[in-house]
Amino acid sequence: MTTLPFPLPDAPTLYAPLPALSEVQRDEALGGVARIDTPDGGVAYVVTRYADVRTVLVDPRFSRAGAAASTASAADFGLGALATGSIAGMDPPEHTRLRKLVARAFTARRVEQLRPGAAGIVDELIDAMLELPQPADLVEHFSLALPVRVICEMLGVPAGDRAKFHGWSDTLLGGPGSDPRVMGAALRAMGEYFAGLIALKRASPQDDLMTALIAARDEQDKLSEEELVRLSLGILIGGHETTANQITMILLTLRHHPEQDARLRADPSLIPGAVEELMRFVQLGDGATSLPRVATEDVELGGVTIPKGAVVLPALAVANRDPEVYDEPDGLDVTRAELSHLSFGAGVHHCLGAQLARMELQEALRGLFTRMPAVRVAVPDEELRFKQGMIVRSVETLPVTW
């Protein structure tokens, strides 16, 4: 079996999966599975083929709770501090209990009710951008501002507090090798903030998601105080960080596919389907693996026996390029039909905010391509600066002209 280094090396390009992972996926002798020797002397397995990745995500023999409880997992694979004790680090039935409390806020029907408000925010942000000198920073003025405003309004976070969260979020999304003390300090700071905000909303309830969660805590005793804080924290981070970075990476990716870019700009009716294809195609991170699982018994994947207790890393971005599932998987086609992808995960941990993210990305592209039809990235890739140590690609600034 092939053994890969840990941490995985940086990808040589922003626009394709790590070559080593693609080679593992397409090598019949390997069965799509590679081993990683972790710094603590343990062993992890990277799974790369669509069918096997989906199995890891949906099969209860692969435990998120087991991974979140592992010190090695928390320290070495990122997001451990956030996942431990949160909905992201639970298995059913505890996970089911908490997810039910918030799932109704993220249904397709509820998200469609939010669409006009999100479209209004998009237009507001673009109105403001059009008044700026060119080039302007898309990150500051649009791609980060949009999802932050939407999720903060859903939760009921005061407008004046929004700026605090991005630094904390960046820290908690640090990649392998991040200082756990720094991550812990950010987690405590966010927890203290939310504890204070919860106290304020108890005294003055409002029509928002956090007030509804407080009612579930106080009136129905369906979650603990710590769970209430962790849920609010997880929703906030999950509700803005990846969507903001997807917007910037979509524009960068489309620049390298001018025919697809032109087709999408010329026909905005393609946007909903194009968002799915772009979610499949865009490389949001170097390693591009989902949160780890731990095998609760011996399980065979791709002809390889994953031993009980082993950490398993499902490589979503590579699975989304599996030639067994997609015709011309390394090609971008904004008209690709009947598309399924694993960018939002699958199973009980399928992204809670998937419908919200879809809607925000659709409205973001609609606004940019109809209100600013000539919008273009104003610097070459070589001049882009990405935040270091992040598990998702987060560009510091993205100068654009229009």
Confidence of residue 315 (pLDDT cuts 50, 70, 90): very high
Percent pLDDT > 90 in the chain is 53
Structure tokens at 173: 């999304």
Measured CA to CA, the distance from residue 22 to residue 41 in angstroms comes to 25
- Could you read off the pLDDT of 199-224 as tens digits, one per residue? 999 999 988 888 888 888 777 777 78
- Could you read off the pLDDT of 87-139 as tens digits, one per residue? 888 889 888 888 888 887 888 888 999 999 999 999 999 999 999 999 999 99
Mean pLDDT of 341-353: 92
Mean pLDDT of 18-28: 92
Give me the sheet containing 311-314, strands edge to edge: 3-4, 33-37, 43-47, 311-314, 293-295, 62-63
* Average pLDDT across the chain, whole number: 87
Q: In this structure, which amino acid lies at residue 160?
A: G
pTM beyond 0.85, yes or no? yes
Contacts of 166 (CB under 8 A, 6+ apart): 144, 148
